[in-house]
Amino acid sequence: MKKYLTCLAVAVLAFQSCNDFEEINIDPNNPAVVPVEMLLPPVISGGVNTMVGSGRRAGQYVQHLAYPGGTSESDGRFNLTGANWREEWNGAVRLIKDINQMKLLAEQNNQPEYMALGHINKVYILSLVTDAFGDIPYDEAGMGNVDGLEFPKFQAQEEVYQRMLEDLETANNLLAELPAGVSVTRDILYNGDLQKWRKFANALKIRVLMRQSAKKDVSQQVAEIFNNPDRYPVFSSVDDGATLVYNNSSDYYSWFIQNPSTDGSGVDFSDNARVSEVMVDLLEKGGDPRLFIYAAPTRNSFLANAADVNKALEYRGQVAGLSSAEQEGLYERTGLKEGDFSVVGRRIRRDNRAFLMTYSELLLLKAEAIQRNMGVTGQAAEVYREAVNASFGKWEQVGNQTQTQNPYISESQREAYWANAVNQYQSEKGLTMIAEQYFIDSFLNGFEGWASWRRTGVPKIKPGHSVLAPIPVRYVYSDNEQNNPSLIEWVEKHMDGKMPNHNVKVWFQP
C-alpha cells in the first residue's frame, strides 16, 4: 500500500509539473488571441494611409495635382485598367478583417467602447471604397476567411450608405452610454478621447448623408444632427478634426522630405507632382494665403530670388493631362522651362499630419445645407466665413519658425483675405463658392476632393486635349476581383452583364 501511495504521489506531481510547464511556456509577447487594443493602431493607420495615397491618384483626377506631360500616362492621361486599383481594393479588405476581429473581441469582452470604434473605422474605410468603386460588399466585407463567405455578396451603393449610417448611429449611442472615465488605449488618432471619436462619428455621418443628397432627400437627417448637438455632438474646433499625426522619425507622412536638398528650398523640385493650374489659379484669384502653404515658388524664381532678393518669387500651376509632345509645345509656346512650375510646398514637405476629416469640411457641408434650405439653423454667410477661417487655422505658426523656415497663415494674411471683396460670400453663387472651398480644403485628400467634384461639378476642370479617356468617375474593380463569382453575379443582375469601366458613374452622382 505504501508503495502504491508513493507511486500515486509521483504521478500527481508529474501531472502538476506538466501543467506548470504549459503555463511557463505561454509567450506573453505572442498571445494566442491578440488583445483588442492591439488591433486599433494598424486599423487607424491603414485607413489613413489609404486616404493619403489618394493624393497622387484621385488627386490627379480632380486636378489638385498635375504631372508634367507624358509622365503619368496611367493616372494623368487615364490609360487605366483594373490592375491600377488592385491594392486600393485588397488593402481595404485586409483592414476590414482586422476590424471584424476587433468587434468580435470587444463583444466577447464586453467592451462597447472598442465596438464603437470598430463601427467608425469600418465606415471610414469602406466609405472611401464605395465612393471610389460604387457597389461593394459591406455586411460581409472582410469575411472571406469564414466558411460559406469566401465570396462576400455585393450590395448597391445606396444600401451601403444606409448600412454606414446605421453603424454610425450605433457608434454614437454606444459612446453616449459609456460610464464616466471609460477610455481606450493605443489610440493613435485621438489619444483615448472618446468624446472626440463620437464627434468624428457624427461628422462622418454628415459627410455620408450629403454625399447622396443629389439623389435622395436627406434634409431631415442632416438637420437632426446639426440642430441637436447634445444628442449628436460634432466638431466644434480645428482640434476636433480627425487628424493623424505621424512620427516622422519612424512612420513617415508620405509627403514629408526625409533628406531635404542643400539649396535651402525645403522642397523636392524634381518631384513630378506639381500643383495644378486649377488649384493655383483658384488660390491666386482671391489672394488666398493657402497658396504659399500648398505650393512652392518655382525653382527658377527661387534661385533667382536667392541671388537677388529684389527678384520676385513666382507660383505657377501645371496644366493637366498633357502628352510629352504637348508639354514640349507648352514650353516652346510660352518660353517656360521645367523649373517654371510649382511643386508641393515647404510647409507640407515638413509636416507630419494627415487630415481624414476637417472642421472646415464639416462647416462647409453645414453652409451648403443652410443654403439649400435643408432645415439647418444658422446663416450661410457666417458659417462659410467660419469654415474658411477653420481651413486657415490648420496652418498656424510652428513654434517660433518664420515664414521662410516653415510657412504659416498669419492674422494679417487672414485679414487681407477678408478685406478682398471677391472673397465675401455671395448667396446667388453660394453653392459654387462652397464647393470651391471644399476643393481647396481637401488638397492632397484626393478621395474627398474627387468625390465632391463628382457630386457638384465644381470647380470647372477639363482634361488635356489628347487624353485617352474622359476624366474618371470611378475606380475599376481590380483585375483579381473581376474573377470573383459574387461580383460576376452582381454585374449580371444589376449592370446588364457589363463590368463597369472608369467612365461609368457611381450611384451618388447626379
To the nearest whole percent, how much of the chain has pLDDT over 90?
86
* Position 501 pLDDT exceeds 70: yes
Q: How confident is the model at residue 491 (pLDDT cuts 50, 70, 90)?
A: very high
Distance (Å, rounded) from C-alpha 211 to C-alpha 202?
A: 14
Beta strand residue intervals within 23-82, DSSP E: 65-66
* Position 29 pLDDT exceeds 60: no
CATH code: domain of residue 232: 1.25.40.390
**What pLDDT is stored for residue 440 in this prediction?**
98
Does residue 206 lie within any of the structural domains? yes
Does residue 326 lie within any of the structural domains? no
Segment 272-298 mean pLDDT: 97
Dihedrals φ, ψ of 153, to 5°? -75, 145
Which range is least confidently modeled, 80-89, 114-123, 388-397? 80-89
Mean pLDDT for the chain overall: 93
Name the domain count of the chain.
1
Distance (Å, rounded) from C-alpha 332 to C-alpha 33?
A: 64
Does residue 217 lie within any of the structural domains? yes
3-state secondary structure of 470: coil
Which range is least confidently modeled, 69-73, 146-150, 313-317, 385-389? 146-150
For residues 249 and 373, the answer to whether their CB atoms sit within 8 Å is no
Q: How confident is the model at residue 15 (pLDDT cuts 50, 70, 90)?
A: very low
To the nearest whole percent, how much of the chain has pLDDT over 70?
94
Q: What is the chain's length? A: 510
**What pLDDT is stored for residue 25 in this prediction?**
46
Q: How confident is the model at residue 147 (pLDDT cuts 50, 70, 90)?
A: confident
Residue with cell 474573377: 483
Does residue 277 lie within any of the structural domains? no
**What pLDDT is stored for residue 33 in this prediction?**
66
Closest residue by Cα to residue 114 from 221, 191, 187: 187
**What pLDDT is stored for residue 17 in this prediction?**
42
**What pLDDT is stored for residue 21 in this prediction?**
36
Does residue 344 lie within any of the structural domains? no
The pLDDT tens digits for 435-463 are: 999 999 999 999 999 999 999 999 999 88
Domain that holds residue 206: 36-254+350-393+404-494
**What pLDDT is stored for residue 20 in this prediction?**
46
**What pLDDT is stored for residue 149 in this prediction?**
85
* Position 24 pLDDT exceeds 70: no
The per-residue DSSP string of 226-275 comes to HT-TTTS----SGGGSEEEEP-TTTS--TT--SS--TTS--S-TT-S-EE
Which range is least confidently modeled, 57-71, 81-95, 311-325? 81-95
Q: How confident is the model at residue 82 (pLDDT cuts 50, 70, 90)?
A: confident
The pLDDT tens digits for 302-347 are: 999 999 999 999 999 999 999 999 999 999 999 999 999 999 999 9
Q: At what angle do helices 430-441 and 359-371 cross, to 10 degrees?
A: 170
Count the helices and strands in the chain (H runs, E runs).
19, 4
Does residue 336 lie within any of the structural domains? no
**What pLDDT is stored for residue 74 in this prediction?**
87
* Position 12 pLDDT exceeds 50: no
The pLDDT tens digits for 116-130 are: 999 999 999 999 999
Q: How confident is the model at residue 2 (pLDDT cuts 50, 70, 90)?
A: very low
**What pLDDT is stored for residue 32 in this prediction?**
56
Segment 236-260 mean pLDDT: 96
Centroid of chain to Cα 485: 30
Closest residue by Cα to residue 152 from 167, 138, 163: 138
**What pLDDT is stored for residue 3 in this prediction?**
42
Q: How confident is the model at residue 381 (pLDDT cuts 50, 70, 90)?
A: very high
Distance (Å, rounded) from C-alpha 418 to C-alpha 389?
A: 10
The pLDDT tens digits for 35-61 are: 999 999 999 999 999 999 999 999 999
Output the pTM of the full model.
Answer: 0.93
Distance (Å, rounded) from C-alpha 260 to C-alpha 266?
A: 6
**What pLDDT is stored for residue 27 in this prediction?**
52
Does residue 55 lie within any of the structural domains? yes
**What pLDDT is stored for residue 464 in this prediction?**
87
CA torsion, ordered 413, 399, 45, 273, to nearest 10 deg? 50
Does residue 490 lie within any of the structural domains? yes
